[in-house]
Amino acid sequence: GAVVSQHPSRVICKSGTSVKIECRSLDFQATTMFWYRQFPKQSLMLMATSNEGSKATYEQGVEKDKFLINHASLTLSTLTVTSAHPEDSSFYICSAKRAQGNTEAFFGQGTRLTVV
């Protein structure tokens, strides 16, 4: 299967600062990447869909100015949590879909964000 690498795996930041999370497709080109948020013992909630070279599409209720998404290349998408607050603490997961081919989306290993 294809490999999606997410970095960092864990990050602790102070309230009010910004944090950037990277999602890379290592061995395939991904025109579409997805960003999810997962609270403990809950399901994955889609935050936004990121298409290479265009603006991300955010799900209802997700603040686009707080969760900045950039998909500048076919192998890299970034999620920046701006002015983080403790309630932003969560597990953030990206997935990437091949530019061509089947429907399968490959997931990164997730990033545990803790805002103190």
Partner 1 sequence: QQQVKQSPQSLIVQKGGISIINCAYENTAFDYFPWYQQFPGKGPALLIAIRPDVSEKKEGRFTISFNKSAKQFSLHIMDSQPGDSATYFCAASIETSGSRLTFGEGTQLTVNP
Structure token digits, residue 86: 């403790």
* Number of residues lying near partner 1 (CB under 8 A): 25
Which region, judged by CB under 8 A, interacts with partner 1, from 11-19, 66-74, 76-84, 87-95? 87-95
Among 19, 21, 30, 34, binds partner 1 (CB under 8 A): 34
Among 84, 93, 96, 115, binds partner 1 (CB under 8 A): 93
Q: What is the 3-state secondary structure (H, E, C) of 37-102?
A: EECCCCCEEEEEEEECCCCCEECCCCCCCCEEEEEEECCEEEEEECCCCHHHCEEEEEEEEECCCC
103 binds partner 1 (CB under 8 A): yes
Among 13, 44, 62, 76, binds partner 1 (CB under 8 A): 44
In sequence order, the 6+-apart residues with CB closer than 8 A to the CB of 86 are: 15, 115, 116
Chain residues binding partner 1 by CB under 8 A are: 1, 4, 6, 32, 34, 41-46, 49, 91, 93, 95, 97, 103-110, 112
